[in-house]
Chains A and B, each alone.
Chain A
Amino acid sequence: MADGEEPEKKRRRIAALTENMAVESCNIGDWDGRWSHVRKFLERTGPFTHPDFEPSEETLQFLLETCKILVIGAGGLGCELLKNLALSGFRHIHVVDMDIIDVSNLNRQFLFRSKDVGRPKADVAAEFINQRVPGCNVVPHFKKIQDFDASFYRQFHIIVCGLDSIIARRWINGMLLSLLSYEDEVLDPSSIIPLIDGGTEGFKGNARVILPGMTACVDCTLELYPPQITFPMCTIASMPRLPEHCIEYVRVLQWPKDKPFGDAVGLDGDNPEHVQWVFQESLKRAAEFNITGVTYRLTQGVVKRIIPAVASTNAVIAAACATEVFKIATSAYIPLNNYLVFNDVDGLYTYTFEAERKENCTACSQVPQKLQFPPSAKLQEVLEYLTENASLQMKSPAITATLEGKNKTLYLQTIASIEERTRPNLCKTLKELGLADGQELAVADVTTPQTVLFKLNFTSETCSIKQVESPRAVFGVPLISLRKRGQMRQGLPLVLTHIVEFVDKHGLSETGLFRVGGSVKRCKELRKSFDEGGFPEFDSRDVLTSASLLKVFIRELPGGLIPEPHRTQLLKVFRDSKKEELNQAVRTVLNSLPEEHFNVLCYLMFFLSRVAAESHLNLMTSENLSIVFGPNIFHVPFSPTMVEEQGQCNTLIEHLLDNLIHLLPNMYPHASNSNTAERDWTNEECVQQLPLKEIRLKVPKIGRLGRLRKRLGCFWRKLCSCTYSSDI
C-alpha cells in the first residue's frame, strides 16, 4: 500500500507481524497477511455491525475450521460462488451439480477449460478451487439435489444457490422448510438454515436472502416470475409468421412424426446432428411460407430454450450472494433484507426491497391449504387449478386420497402405466370418486420434496367453482369483463360506486383517510363478500377499512387503472411537454384510455379531489393522495428507473388532481362545484383557473422514499432472471 517514511514504516511492519502471528500460528499452510483483508471486519467493531457482533479472532477460526457451506450449482454462478467463498475464509464447502461441462460454458464458467468438456462440473470446479486456494476443501457431488435427503442438508450452516431452474429452487426451499422445528407453534431458530439465492439472465440478475420460516420464501414470491412464452398451436401448425414458429413446428410436430433418428430417439438439443436436422427442416418450412430469419443459432436457441449469459452479470450476483453468506456467518453486518435486483442494460441499476411473506403460502405458512370445488367438479378441474393457479404453479401433480382406510392414487402423471390407469378419473366428478366434504387430498409434485395437504371444501353447486376465478368476482377482474357481466351501471363498476359512496358520506373528515390502513381481516372479509356477489354493509365507525378496500380494488385491476402503453405515454408527455402544452398532451393520452378505464379514472379522480378539498380535516392533500394512489393506479414495471418512475407517476397523479377540471370530464355525481360539471372540458378556453378549494398542508418529505420503496415491493410484476429453466 503506502510507501511512507522510515520510522512509521518500521513500526507498522512490527505491528503487522505480531498481528499476523496471532492467527498464522494456528493455521499451518497460511502465509503472512493471508487473511488480513478479512480480519479487519472480524476483529474490529463498527457502527454498522449486527447487534450480535463481537469482534474477536475466533470468528476467523470459525470460518476456517467449522463453518460448513453448501453451494448448489457449479455453473456460471456456482464457479464464482466457490471462488468468492474460498477467498473469504470458508474452507468446508460442498458443491452439488448434475451437469457436465459443455463448450458453451467456457465464456463464463472460469474454472473450466476446453480439456474439461464432458466432465462433471462439480468435480472439475472442486479440483480447481482446492488446487488454487490452499487449505480449502471443496467436496463435489455429481448428483441431483433430489438425490439427497434431509440428513444431508441438515449438516450445513448456510446454503447458497446458483440455479437456472425454478423447480429446483422450489424444491430446495421446500427441503429447508421441512427441516424447521416448531415447539408449541414457536419456531426453533436453531433449525433455520439460511438460503441465499442468486439468478441471472443476460444483463439482469437478482440475489436474495431467505430465512426459512421467517422471511419470504421462494413460493411466497412465485407470482412474480413471468409466465413462459409459448406460441399458440394453431399458429405453429397452420399459419407461421416468425422464424420461431417454423422451428417450433419442426420441434413439436415434425420430429415425433418423422422420427429422423429412429423410433425411440427424442430430440436432444445438445446433439449437433439433431439441431442441424431441425435447422434444415425449419428452413424448408420457412421457405414454404416465405419467412426469413431461420438461422442455426436461432434454431438452437429455440430448441434448447437458451438463456443468454455473460460472465459479468454472474460475477456481480455471485459476489452479492457471497457477501451475504459472509455477513450471516460472521454477524459482521446486517444481512440484506431481503431482495436485490440488478440490471446494467442502460447504466447500472440496483434495487433493494423487502419481499413480503405470503400469509397462506403453500410452502411456508403452516396454514392448511383449501381447495374449494362443488361435488360436481371433475378431477380434471382440480388438476388444472393446481397447475394454473399463480401461487401454486405445480408441474405434474400427483393426487392421492385416503378412501375407506386405503391410500388411493387418484391421478399420477409421471409414471406412464399409472397415468394410463388413473386417467379415467380425470373425467369423473369428485362425488363419483367418493370424495367427501373435508376430505384431505395429498398432492406430490416436483416443485416440493414434501407432499402438500389440501382440505377439500365442497361449495354449493350454484356457488363459485373455483375460489379465485369465480364468475362473480369483482376484484382483480378486467373492467371490460365487469361490463360484459353486467356488473356495471352507467359505465362504473357497482362495487366501486358502492364503496366510494360510503366513504364519501362517512370518511371525508377522517384523518389520514387512505393513508392509514384499516383492518386487514375485515377488509378481506368484505372483499370475499363482494367477490361472492354480495353487497356487504359497511361499518360507519370503520371507514378506514372501506377506504383500504377501495385501494385494493384499484390496485388489483389487471394491468393497472392506467395501463400500458398509456402509462408510458403519460410519463413521456409529462417529461417532455412544454408547460403550456402539457395539459393538452395529457388530455390526449387520457382520451385514448379504454372507455371503462377512462370512466373509472374520471370518477375516482373527482372523488379524490373531494377528499383533498377537505384536507384541512383529513390531512390528505393532493400530494399525499398521490403518494398513496400512485402505486395503486400505475403498475410500474421493473426497469432501471423504476423508483424514479414511480415517483413520476405519483407526481402525475398529483398534477391530475391539481388540474382536474382541465384534464378530465367530471363524472362524479356530487361534485363540489356543480358548474364545472357542465362545462365543455375539452375546450381549454372555457376552463380558466378555477382552483379547487383545497388547503395544502405541507407534509415533511422524510421517509417518503422509504415508504415508496416498501410499497413498490408489493407491485413487483416482472422480476428479471431465473425465470426460464433450461432443464425443466
Chain B
Amino acid sequence: MTDHKTSKEQKYDRQLRLWGDHGQEALENAHVCLINANATGTEILKNLVLPGIGAFTVVDGHKVSGEDVGNNFFLTSSSIGKNRAQAATELLQELNSDVSGNFVEESPDKLLDNDPEFFHRFSLVIGIQLPESTCLRLGSVLWEAGVPYLVCRTYGLIGYMRLIVKEHTVVESHPDNALEDLRLDQPFTELKHHIESYDLDSMEKKDHSHTPWIIVVAKYLEKWYSEHNSQLPKNYKEKEAFRQLIREGILTKENGAPEDEENFEEAIKNVNTALNPTKVPSAAEDIFNAEQCENITSQSPSFWVMAQGVRDFIRNEGNGKLPVRGTIPDMIADSDKFIKLQNVYRDKAMKDAAVVSKHVEALLQSVGKPPESISEQEIKLFCKNAAFLRVVRCRSLAEEYSMDTFNKDEITSCMDSTDSEMVLYLMLRSVDRFYQQHSRYPGVYNYQVEEDINKLKLCVNSLLQEYSLNVNVKDDYIHEFCRYGAAEPHTVAAFLGGSAAQEAIKIITHQFVPFNNTFLYNAMSQTSATFQL
C-alpha cells in the first residue's frame, strides 16, 4: 500500500506541486463523461487520464471510419467499422492503469430519449462536436441537474469551448501576486506585545541590523503616532516624512556615515504596502454579501457555510477584518527573530480559524448537520484564502440562444472590429444553421464548396436577421468556413484537448479559475478570446 502510494507520488510529482495532494484526491474521485470519441474528444481524455482522473465514460454511437483513424491517435485502422466508444476506450485506458475506463455504445440523443438521468452521475460532462439540437437538449438536462457541462468543438482551424456551470466556487485561486496581510495599521494584541518586546535603541549593532523590517516599521509607526495624533502617514508628504524618520534610525559609524543596514532599507521600501489599510477586498465582500451566504440550509455547499462563518467572524470578533492569513514574506533577519515573528502571525491565524470554526460548527448544528461534516483543515484553508475567494457563474445555453436574453451588446461591440474572434462564433452558429437545413456541413466535399459558399452566406444573414444583429461578417470568413468542410485537423484538436482538459481539472479540483464562458481559438493567427455569452 505504501509502495503504491509512493509510486503514485513519484508518478504525479510534477503536478502535485501545482494542485497538491487534495487536488489529486479530488481528481481521483471524479468521473467524467465524454460524448464522441473523435480527435478532440480523445485528446481531452488523454490529458485527463494521464494525470489520473478516477474514471471516464465514453458515449458514442458512431462506427469508426477511415477519416476518424486519420486524425485520432487513439484509434487504429483495425478498429474501422467497430464502435468508436469501445475502440477509443481501449487505447485510452492503456495510458494509465489507475484510471477506470467505461464506454456506452449509444448516441447521446438516444440516451436523452430513454434515460436522461444517465448523465446525472458525472462530475462533468464534455460534449464534442454535437449537433446544435443535441447540445441544447443535453444542456438543459445538465443545467437542471446541476452537472457542469463543457462543450468543445474543432472546426477547421477554429477551436470553440463553452462552459456551463451554474455556480462554481474556488477557495484556492492561486493568485500570482497577492498583497501581504500584515495588520500594521491595526496590530492585534499578540503582535503589539511582540513589537513591545523589542527595544531598537538599546540593541547591539548586529541585532539592530537583523531585526525584521516589519518590526522596524511598527516601531517607527509608534513614534510617528505620538507626534501625529495617532494618525497613519497618509499622503506622499507624510509617508516620505515617515521614511525619513526610519532613515534617521539607521545606526551611524564613528565618522557619522550610515551603517549598512539592509533591514532598514527594506523597511523604507516597504512603507507603502505595509501601511495599506487592512480591509476586506471588494470581491470577497461580494461573496459574503451574497444570498447564498445569507441563507444556509442543510443543502448548502461547505463553501457557503464557511463563507458565512468568516462573515460572522468579520462582523464580530474580527472587528470588520478577515481572519489573519498567517504568512509573512521572507526578509532580512536572523533566524530566531524571523521565526518568532512568523509564529506570532501563524498563531493568530490559527486562533482566528478556530473562532471561524466555532461559527461554522454552530451554523452546521442549526441546520441539523454534524459539526465534523466540515473539517478543521478545510476551514483553515478557507480562512487562509479568504481574500482570494472566487465564484464563477456561467449563463445557461438557453439564455445564450434565447432571442430575449442573448448577449447582444457583447456581440455587437466586439464586431466593431470585423476580425474579432466573435466573427468565428457567428460563423459556427451559421454552420449549425446550415446543418439544420441541409443535414450536412458546408464544403464537406470538394464539388460542393462553391455552391455552399452562397448557401452558408444565406445562413449567416438569416442568423443575423433573426437576432436583429446589425453587424458585418466578412465574406472571407464564409469562404474560409466552407474550405474547412468540417475538417478536424489533429493539431487544432490537440490544442483544445489541452485547454479543455485543464478547464475540466479546474472544475473538478475547485482550484484555479475557469473561463467564463465562451472561448474561441483561431489557429490561423494563433490568437484567442473569451466572451461572456
Chain B residues near A8: list those with CB within 8 A: 439-440
On whether A107 and B50 interact (CB within 8 A), knowing A2-B440, A43-B446, A319-B492, the answer reads yes
- Residues A203 and B441 in contact, CB atoms below 8 Å apart: no
In the complex, chain A residues 172-211 whose Cβ is within 8 Å of any chain B Cβ: 202-203, 207
B335 close to chain A: CB less than 8 A:
yes
- Residues B446 and A19 in contact, CB atoms below 8 Å apart: yes
Complex CA gap A352/B497 in Å reads 20
Which of chain A's residues has its CB closest to B7's CB?
A103
* B 504-526 to A, binary, CB cutoff 8 A, 1 in contact else 0: 01000000111110010101111
A312 close to chain B: CB less than 8 A:
yes
- Residues A12 and B439 in contact, CB atoms below 8 Å apart: no
Question: Which one of A41, A132, A134, A566 contacts B272 once the chains associate, using CB atoms below 8 Å?
Answer: A566
- Residues A103 and B530 in contact, CB atoms below 8 Å apart: no
In the complex, chain B residues 17-69 whose Cβ is within 8 Å of any chain A Cβ: 17-18, 39, 43, 46-47, 50-52, 65-67, 69
Complex CA gap A289/B335 in Å reads 6
- Residues B47 and A311 in contact, CB atoms below 8 Å apart: yes
Question: Which one of A43, A87, A290, A308 contacts B490 once the chains associate, using CB atoms below 8 Å?
Answer: A87
Question: Which one of A19, A37, A241 contacts B445 once the chains associate, using CB atoms below 8 Å?
Answer: A19
B289 close to chain A: CB less than 8 A:
no
Complex CA gap A595/B516 in Å reads 42
- Residues B12 and A311 in contact, CB atoms below 8 Å apart: no
Chain B residues near A592: list those with CB within 8 A: 236, 239, 271-272, 275
> How many of A's residues come within 8 Å of B, CB to CB?
101
Complex CA gap A84/B497 in Å reads 12
Chain B residues near A103: list those with CB within 8 A: 7, 10-11
On whether A46 and B483 interact (CB within 8 A), knowing A239-B334, A350-B527, the answer reads yes
| Shortest CB distance B337–A (Å) | 9
B491 close to chain A: CB less than 8 A:
yes
Complex CA gap A686/B497 in Å reads 60
Chain A residues near B527: list those with CB within 8 A: 350, 352
- Residues A345 and B487 in contact, CB atoms below 8 Å apart: no
Chain-B contact segment, one of A28-36, A151-159, A620-628: A28-36
A51 close to chain B: CB less than 8 A:
no
- Residues B489 and A37 in contact, CB atoms below 8 Å apart: yes
Chain A residues near B239: list those with CB within 8 A: 591-592
Chain A residues near B14: list those with CB within 8 A: 104, 107-108, 306-310
* B 414-448 to A, binary, CB cutoff 8 A, 1 in contact else 0: 00010000000000000000010011110111110
Complex CA gap A320/B521 in Å reads 11
Chain B residues near A239: list those with CB within 8 A: 210, 333-335, 338
- Residues A203 and B524 in contact, CB atoms below 8 Å apart: no
Question: Which one of B70, B95, B505, B526 contacts A352 once the chains associate, using CB atoms below 8 Å?
Answer: B526
Chain A residues near B52: list those with CB within 8 A: 107
In the complex, chain B residues 468-496 whose Cβ is within 8 Å of any chain A Cβ: 475-477, 479-480, 483-492, 494-495
A346 close to chain B: CB less than 8 A:
yes
Which residue of B235, B333, B512 has the most chain A CB atoms within 10 A of its CB atom? B235
- Residues A37 and B494 in contact, CB atoms below 8 Å apart: no
- Residues A311 and B51 in contact, CB atoms below 8 Å apart: yes
On whether A241 and B335 interact (CB within 8 A), knowing A40-B484, A320-B526, A590-B236, the answer reads yes
Chain B residues near A317: list those with CB within 8 A: 498
Chain A residues near B18: list those with CB within 8 A: 202-203, 308, 310
Question: Which one of A40, A307, A319 contacts B494 once the chains associate, using CB atoms below 8 Å?
Answer: A319
Complex CA gap A108/B11 in Å reads 9
A38 close to chain B: CB less than 8 A:
yes
Which of chain B's residues has its CB closest to A209's CB?
B526
| Shortest CB distance B313–A (Å) | 23
* A 252-294 to B, binary, CB cutoff 8 A, 1 in contact else 0: 0000000000000000000000000000000000000111000
- Residues B487 and A598 in contact, CB atoms below 8 Å apart: no
Which of chain A's residues has its CB closest to B67's CB?
A33
On whether A309 and B15 interact (CB within 8 A), knowing A44-B483, A241-B330, A315-B47, the answer reads yes
Question: Which one of A31, A318, A345, A569 contacts B174 once the chains associate, using CB atoms below 8 Å?
Answer: A345
Chain B residues near A33: list those with CB within 8 A: 65-67, 70
Chain A residues near B9: list those with CB within 8 A: 297
On whether A593 and B67 interact (CB within 8 A), knowing A15-B446, A80-B494, A312-B499, the answer reads no
Complex CA gap A291/B494 in Å reads 45
Chain A residues near B243: list those with CB within 8 A: 595
Question: Which one of B177, B282, B339, B446 contacts A291 once the chains associate, using CB atoms below 8 Å?
Answer: B339
- Residues A347 and B524 in contact, CB atoms below 8 Å apart: no
Complex CA gap A571/B125 in Å reads 38
A149 close to chain B: CB less than 8 A:
no
| Shortest CB distance A603–B (Å) | 14
Complex CA gap A345/B492 in Å reads 21
- Residues A31 and B77 in contact, CB atoms below 8 Å apart: yes
Which of chain A's residues has its CB closest to B95's CB?
A110
Chain A residues near B234: list those with CB within 8 A: 588, 591
A576 close to chain B: CB less than 8 A:
yes
B454 close to chain A: CB less than 8 A:
no
Which of chain A's residues has its CB closest to B479's CB?
A47
On whether A323 and B523 interact (CB within 8 A), knowing A36-B67, A311-B46, the answer reads yes
> How many of B's residues come within 8 Å of A, CB to CB?
114
On whether A348 and B499 interact (CB within 8 A), knowing A4-B439, A239-B333, A308-B18, the answer reads yes
B5 close to chain A: CB less than 8 A:
no
Which of chain A's residues has its CB closest to B528's CB?
A350
In the complex, chain A residues 67-113 whose Cβ is within 8 Å of any chain B Cβ: 80, 83-84, 87-88, 103-104, 106-108, 110
A336 close to chain B: CB less than 8 A:
yes
* B 89-129 to A, binary, CB cutoff 8 A, 1 in contact else 0: 00000011000000000000000000000000000000000
- Residues B528 and A348 in contact, CB atoms below 8 Å apart: yes
B298 close to chain A: CB less than 8 A:
no
Chain B residues near A464: list those with CB within 8 A: none
In the complex, chain B residues 328-367 whose Cβ is within 8 Å of any chain A Cβ: 330-331, 333-336, 338-339, 342
Which of chain B's residues has its CB closest to A102's CB?
B10
| Shortest CB distance B446–A (Å) | 6
A533 close to chain B: CB less than 8 A:
no
Chain A residues near B156: list those with CB within 8 A: 40-41
On whether A312 and B498 interact (CB within 8 A), knowing A333-B524, A347-B513, the answer reads yes
- Residues B498 and A315 in contact, CB atoms below 8 Å apart: yes
On whether A297 and B13 interact (CB within 8 A), knowing A319-B498, A591-B237, the answer reads yes
Chain B residues near A346: list those with CB within 8 A: 173, 175-176, 512-513
- Residues A320 and B480 in contact, CB atoms below 8 Å apart: no
A344 close to chain B: CB less than 8 A:
yes
B405 close to chain A: CB less than 8 A:
no
Chain B residues near A319: list those with CB within 8 A: 491-492, 494-495, 497-498
Chain B residues near A728: list those with CB within 8 A: none
In the complex, chain A residues 196-244 whose Cβ is within 8 Å of any chain B Cβ: 202-203, 207, 238-242
Known pairs A47-B476, A88-B491, A316-B495 / 9 extra A-B pairs, C-beta < 8 Å: A4-B438, A12-B440, A37-B67, A40-B485, A104-B13, A107-B14, A311-B498, A333-B157, A350-B526
Rank and list the top 9 A-B pairs by shortest CB-CB distance, nearest first. A591-B236, A315-B498, A33-B66, A316-B498, A4-B439, A591-B235, A319-B494, A319-B495, A47-B476
- The 11 sampled A-B contact pairs (Cβ below 8 Å) are A1-B444, A8-B439, A44-B443, A80-B494, A203-B502, A241-B342, A297-B13, A312-B498, A319-B498, A347-B530, A705-B417
Binding site for A on B (CB under 8 A): 7, 9-18, 39, 43, 46-47, 50-52, 65-67, 69-73, 76-77, 80, 95-96, 156-157, 161, 173-177, 179, 210, 234-240, 243, 271-273, 275-276, 282, 330-331, 333-336, 338-339, 342, 417, 435, 438-441, 443-447, 449, 475-477, 479-480, 483-492, 494-495, 497-499, 501-503, 505, 512-516, 519, 521, 523-528, 530
Binding site for B on A (CB under 8 A): 1-5, 8, 12, 15-16, 19, 31-38, 40-41, 43-48, 80, 83-84, 87-88, 103-104, 106-108, 110, 132-134, 202-203, 207, 238-242, 289-291, 297, 300-301, 306-320, 322-324, 326, 333-334, 336, 340, 344-350, 352, 565-566, 568-569, 576, 587-588, 590-593, 595, 598, 639, 682, 705
